[in-house]
A = this chain, B = another copy of it.
Amino acid sequence: MKPITLKDIALKLNISVTTVSKALQGRRDVSKSTRQSVVDLAEEMNYVPNSVAVNLRTQQTKTIGVIIPTVVHQFFSKVIDGVIEEAEKQGYLVITLQSNENFEFEKKQLQLLMQKRVDGILISLSNETQHCNHLNEIIKNEIPIVLFDKIYKLANCSKVYIDDQQAAYNAVTSLIKKGYKRIAHFRGSLTPQNSIDRFLGYKRALTDNDIEFDASLVYLCNNNDDFNDGYNNANKLLIEQNNVDAIFAITDLIAVGILKCFNEKGIKIPKDIAVFGFSDWFMASVVTPSLSSVKQPSFEMGRKATEILIDEIKNLNKNISYSFQNVVLPTTLAIRDSI
């Protein structure tokens, strides 16, 4: 059964398509009686407006695109939740794409979204991404774009993120205040901004507390497999170091990998070595011992980024100029048994 169109309704009622269109839009330059009969017939015939036609005509799709590294990730799925909820509230649909932490993929996905003529784009950059030429392409085409989480600071658009450096600083400081002195850091890849910032926060917390930074205490986790990276590096650390009393891990998954290693080896947490995570996934509260972690507002990040994006879309449509926003969301510490 082919979908009913305005034409079908017009034909049956012996009026013009225009009038049907107007009636359905509830405008009052159409008599109450015809409006009613149109609405009734549309209902009866199960008329469903064709968004594609509307989109072509109105030049907007009421759809936004989101690109994230991966959906199977508690942080990002919560972000998506926030995005979908806010988008829906404002009548927008959401197309989700993954970059798989791959720059070429990320570029391709942006291209797809442009073709699809989405009204705006949300993106959290892949770890590989080291410039924003591909974003500039979008910006040049006047498609609003908002960066979140993994941002590129120089990009010429709005951004929603957390103060990674400060969050890491707070976490490490809390370790120091508890008396830990020789604190290792399990860091992420070298290029992503938040990996760098968390490392810098770690370093600054040390120096601010007169603890000398020791590069040999920094372990690199960059295999896109946090849990095993944490597990393996924990093993390595046990061999290489003998007086580390705490570890600040850049993600909860890495921290949980560390926990597993230590639990297996009979290392007592936090007595022998304390562990601090980052992101506060649900898991953190149910592992043994429960994991201290930095709480970051994932749902709110998605929601806020979407709100800003849709604002920009609306401004653009109304030809109102706007300036880009830099929203820094607050983080807190969830202190649990692992420290």
Chain A residues in contact with chain B, CB under 8 A? 1, 3, 46, 48-53, 55-56, 61, 63, 70-74, 77-78, 80-81, 84, 88, 93-98, 111-112, 114-117, 137, 140-142, 227, 256, 259-260, 263, 282-283, 286-288
Residues of B within 8 A of A142 (CB): 1
Distance of A97 from chain B, by nearest CB (Å): 7
User: Which one of B1, B80, B117, B288 lies within 8 Å of A50 (CB-CB)?
Assistant: B117
As for how many copies of this chain the complex holds, the number is 2
Ordered by A's residue number, 11 sampled pairs between the chains whose C-beta atoms are within 8 Å are A1-B142, A49-B115, A52-B55, A52-B116, A52-B117, A71-B71, A71-B81, A93-B112, A95-B96, A227-B286, A256-B286
Q: A50-B115, A77-B77 are in contact. Are A84 and B97 (CB under 8 A)?
A: yes
Residues of B within 8 A of A114 (CB): 48
Residues of B within 8 A of A3 (CB): 117, 141
Give the docked Cα–Cα distance between A287 and B282 (Å): 12
Distance of A116 from chain B, by nearest CB (Å): 5
Q: A116-B51, A286-B287 are in contact. Are A81 and B70 (CB under 8 A)?
A: yes
- A117's nearest neighbour on chain B, judged by CB, is B52
Give the docked Cα–Cα distance between A49 and B117 (Å): 9
Give the docked Cα–Cα distance between A337 and B288 (Å): 14
Distance of A2 from chain B, by nearest CB (Å): 8
Distance of A129 from chain B, by nearest CB (Å): 19
Residues of B within 8 A of A115 (CB): 48-51
Give the docked Cα–Cα distance between A93 and B287 (Å): 37
Do residues A77 and B81 form an inter-chain contact, with CB atoms below 8 A?
A: no
Distance of A33 from chain B, by nearest CB (Å): 27
Distance of A283 from chain B, by nearest CB (Å): 5
Give the docked Cα–Cα distance between A84 and B80 (Å): 14
Residues of B within 8 A of A96 (CB): 80, 84, 94-96
Residues of B within 8 A of A81 (CB): 70-72, 98
Give the docked Cα–Cα distance between A5 and B73 (Å): 39
Residues of B within 8 A of A287 (CB): 286-288
Give the docked Cα–Cα distance between A74 and B115 (Å): 31
Give the docked Cα–Cα distance between A53 and B55 (Å): 9
Which of A55, A56, A282, A286 is packed against the most chain B CB atoms within 10 Å?
A286
Give the docked Cα–Cα distance between A260 and B289 (Å): 11
Give the docked Cα–Cα distance between A51 and B1 (Å): 24
Give the docked Cα–Cα distance between A94 and B65 (Å): 10
Residues of B within 8 A of A116 (CB): 51-52, 63, 93
